[in-house]
Amino acid sequence: MRKSKLLCLGFLLCMVQTAVGQQPSENTPGASPSPPEASRASSSSNGEKKPLPVYLIIGTVFNENALSFPDVRVRIRQTNEKKFRWETYTNSRGEFAVRVPEGNEYEVLVQTKNFMQQSRTVKADAGAIQERLSFRLERVASGKAGDKK
């Protein structure tokens, strides 16, 4: 009985030492910052962090049965440009979110295989901070006689 108590106590002591050893150490005054902090601070050339774009385009994509649609390609561009600047894919719940600079007009294009693509125009006004979109994709009608829609 006494041996089992000692083993149990030794095990607990070992676990506590392991847990304490895994805790991040706090920097003491005058010590150099940890590598992640140093790399974050030097990310821009003049030492200042670039602010994130403040306008958020968020949305959800559904299939023809009104179920969430994962892995749908979402591309965003300014309406006066030909090239798409931002691209993402919907998550497992059919949701996406992209930050863009405010003050411009954007085209949001949603597309995936075997479904018709859809696009919407979003005005990133200075007064608002986000635009919420909802897409319901329809299957492309096939021309074969034996296929079901």
Give the pair of three-digit tokens for residue 47.
Answer: 């030492």
Q: How confident is the model at residue 147 (pLDDT cuts 50, 70, 90)?
A: low
Contact 110, 117 (CB under 8 A): yes
Instruction: Give residue 10's pLDDT.
Output: 54
pLDDT, residue 40, reads: 37
The mean of the pLDDT values for the chain is 77
Per-residue pLDDT of 91-112, as tens digits, reads: 999 999 999 999 899 999 999 9
Which superfamily, per CATH, for 55-135? Immunoglobulins (2.60.40.10)
**Residue 89, H or E segment:** strand 86-89
Averaged pLDDT, 32-48 = 47
Query: pTM above 0.75?
Result: no
Q: Can you tell me the distance from the alpha carbon of 47 to that of 104, in angstroms, rounded to the nearest whole number?
A: 28
Question: Is 41 a residue whose pLDDT tops 50?
Answer: no
Q: How far is CA 59 from the centre of its chain?
A: 12
Q: What is the domain partition of the chain in residue ranges?
A: 55-135
60 neighbors 94 (Cβ within 8 angstroms): yes
